[in-house]
Amino acid sequence: MERIEQGLRLLVVSGDSGRGAVKRGRRTKMGNHEQFISDEELKRTRRKEKLKELVDSKGEKQEVANEPLHVSDADFNDIVNKNTLTLIDFWASWCGPCRVLAPTIEELAKDYAGRVLVGKLNVDENPTTAERFQVFSIPTVLIMKKGKEVDRIVGCVPKDNIEAALKKHLG
């Protein structure tokens, strides 16, 4: 039995006892089979598919992105390890200096497309990575080379300062 409620599908699964258990999620097609997966699993699957599209499996070729990639705790390691040079902006929506720096980060993504992967990590939504790299003040920009932090810029700084740090590591 199946019914639609508020845009979500509710699947009622009957057991031997005749009582039904209700699960929230989406019905998806996998080849010739139909499968019921939770919304959270669907989000993870879509995130993994997007990551595969953005990062070459061998790590030799970087994706050409004209805008910053939104990075999360779940995909941070894959992104920084599979790209030669990565710039990650640690930010939060309530942070005034972060909002001032945002257009600069977007410009850098366009200017360095194909050479540097530019990403943004929201520290409120992804506290684990922020804690791991001891990001105590935002905005903080990390420059990662082959998965290792090689430079850090704290605060709202001019585009030239960030470009100078990038150029040091592009060589």
C-alpha of 122 from chain center? 9
Distance between CA 27 and CA 33 in Å, rounded?
Answer: 10
Whole-angstrom CA distances from 162 to 7, 102, 122, 132, 170 are 44, 13, 19, 22, 12
Q: How, if at all, do strands 33-37 and 8-14 pair?
A: unpaired
The catalytic residue among 98, 105, 123, 135 is: 98
Q: Please say if 98 is a catalytic residue.
A: yes
Catalytic residue among 95, 105, 109, 144: 95
Could you give the CA distance from residue 35 to residue 27 in angstroms, rounded to a whole number? 6
Q: Which residues pair with 94 in a beta bridge?
A: none
Whether 77 and 147 have beta carbons less than 8 Å apart is answered as yes
> Position of tokens 């941070």?
76
Whether 156 is catalytic is no
Which residues participate in catalysis according to the annotation?
95, 98
